Amino acid sequence: MTDELKYKSAINDIGILLELLKDFRQSNQFSKAEDLINKNKHLLSESSELNFELANIYVALGKIDKAIEIFEKLIQNRDFDITIAVRELIKLYKIKGKYKKAVDCINIAVEKGNDNLDLYIEKIIQQRLIPDGKSAIETLQNLKKIKNNKSESFIKNIESVESSRQVIAPYRVFFTWGMHYQCNYNCTYCYAPKPHDITFDNNKNNKALYLSTEQLVDSWKFVFDKYGTSRIRLDGGEPTIYPNFYYILKELLKMHRLQINTNLSFDVKEFCDNSDPQKVRIDASLHCEYTKLDDYVKKLEYLKKHGYKLVVSYVAYPDFINNIPLAKKIIQSELNIPFLIHPYSGFYNDRQYPASYNEDEKNIIYNTDYKSITELTWRAERKGNYKPRFGKEKDIKLTEKQIAENESIKQMKQIENKNDNEFKLCEMGRMYARIYPNGNVYRCCAYDGNTYLGNLFDKTIKLLDRAEKCYNTKDCRCWRCMIPGEESRWLNTWMDDWEISF
């Protein structure tokens, strides 16, 4: 039968229509497929499979809401294998951020007897993405009843750290440890404090302390005994140039999971010889001022080959923003490594960023990483009018008097915010803490969030017992802050890999 005859026969033959639709889909002719169904709408009421094809065509055309509407009807159909529709719905609900809806449709499948292992696992993953930890634990108990290697492996991944988890999101204690201020790069756009900045030389509370490796490891053993296996983000400066870094790395991995924020300047073979890819995630930043893309990509390839989880970040500094599409093509499209864009915050040519990005620049950022629009919007709103008190120069030198004045201004700001009685509860300080190179532990990085929580090195660290008030609601710069009820914004940032994929 010729294609023309097939096309005409499809008017009355569902089998031929489905065959044509599948051909169109395979050749990416989705608009033609949609037109063909529109000409044969009378057949939709006779075939669930035809509706399933239409829903998939809508997905390909970006008509997500229409696809969801069809899939939702299909999972109510007793004559259709609803597990297939449920799987497609879960994907679409993830895109829309409707995790509870995903759980609801999984429940429908389970109630109809489709209680297979993969659905239980997917249900736990979705429940971890909403403030519904208790239900996730109940689902875990049901999963234990299914005995096979896959379920037991999944349960082991969870229960190996269960003692350190809480019922309330984000379920694990997180730390950012700024190990020191030293870095082998000096990027134009870097906002991290530098050891040559007099602000830190003059302020005894900010000096980096280099303890013995035995003391450092013992301090983190204290944290392990108190809070269980935690996730520690090693930050700096450049963590990998810290004295005896690889010894510290191996010892920490015996107790905790690590997320290393690095410029990837290290010897990748030596790194692989001293770490465990199952317990390490590498957040690699790409800095075009100091490395060639080809050399950087070779290191990524080596690390990926050896099983490391990788994410690459790139600061959208105006001078380098046009490099983004090529870097993304190689790193994300060809190597399949997530490529994230961080909007630049600071001055460039006497203009404040990110508020000064033009529409073309915003499109480059957004089109490269759609999630970056959240950070871009947040930073533009919270930092757009920021003006430094003592100028905008990169390596400004502050006197002791200016440091004291700055501290006084912070304290006055906190008093003013408290007097206004505008606050939000925040989990920072209970489930997260920021540790500075001198060992001091604070609730977070923000002025009003800098509640002192003790010191790591002298083992006086004590996290908050519950979510506490934060009065820094107007000026908070952190788009990852853990505000209960806003989990859809921040929770993905704090989830472990087993909780968001399997």
Instruction: Give me the pLDDT at residue 376, please.
Output: 57
Instruction: For each of the domains in the chain, give its residue range(s) and CATH number, in order of start.
Output: 3-121 (1.25.40.10), 268-281+292-398 (no CATH)
Q: Coil, strand, or helix at residue 455?
A: strand
Apex CA 359: angle with CA 355 and CA 361, to 5°? 80
State the greatest distance between any 2 C-alpha atoms of the chain, in Å, as a whole number: 89
Q: How many CB atoms within 10 Å of residue 301?
A: 14
Contact 349, 317 (CB under 8 A): no
CA-nearest of 98, 140, 111, 147 to 123 is 140
Instruction: Give me the pLDDT at residue 384, please.
Output: 43
Of 15-29, 86-100, 234-248, 410-424, give the lowest mean pLDDT range.
Answer: 410-424
Of 214-218, 399-403, 450-454, 477-481, give the lowest mean pLDDT range.
Answer: 399-403
Cis amide bond preceding 437, omega within 30: no
pLDDT in tens, 424-434: 888 899 899 99
Residue 255, exposed/middle/buried by CB under 10 A (0-12, 13-18, 19+)? Answer: middle
Instruction: Give me the pLDDT at residue 238, please.
Output: 95
Helices (H), 369-450: 372-383, 400-420
**223 membership: H or E segment, kind and range:** helix 213-227
Contact 388, 394 (CB under 8 A): no
Instruction: Give me the pLDDT at residue 374, please.
Output: 57
Of 65-69, 270-274, 379-383, 466-470, give the lowest mean pLDDT range.
Answer: 379-383
Rounded to whole angstroms, the Cα distance separating 375 from 365 reads 11
CA-nearest of 426, 432, 454 to 227 is 432
Rounded to whole angstroms, the Cα distance separating 294 from 304 reads 15
User: Where do we find the tokens 């993953």?
Assistant: 125
Structure tokens at 409: 């201004």
Kindly report the length of the chain: 502
Q: How many CB atoms within 10 Å of residue 460?
A: 14
pLDDT at 186 over 50: yes
Higher pLDDT, 323 or 172: 323
pLDDT in tens, 79-114: 777 788 888 888 888 777 788 888 888 888 877 765
Higher pLDDT, 22 or 259: 259
CA-nearest of 165, 158, 227, 182 to 437 is 182
pLDDT at 268 over 90: yes
Contact 249, 276 (CB under 8 A): no
CA-nearest of 140, 216, 217 to 171 is 140
Q: How many CB atoms within 10 Å of residue 493?
A: 12
Contact 394, 197 (CB under 8 A): no
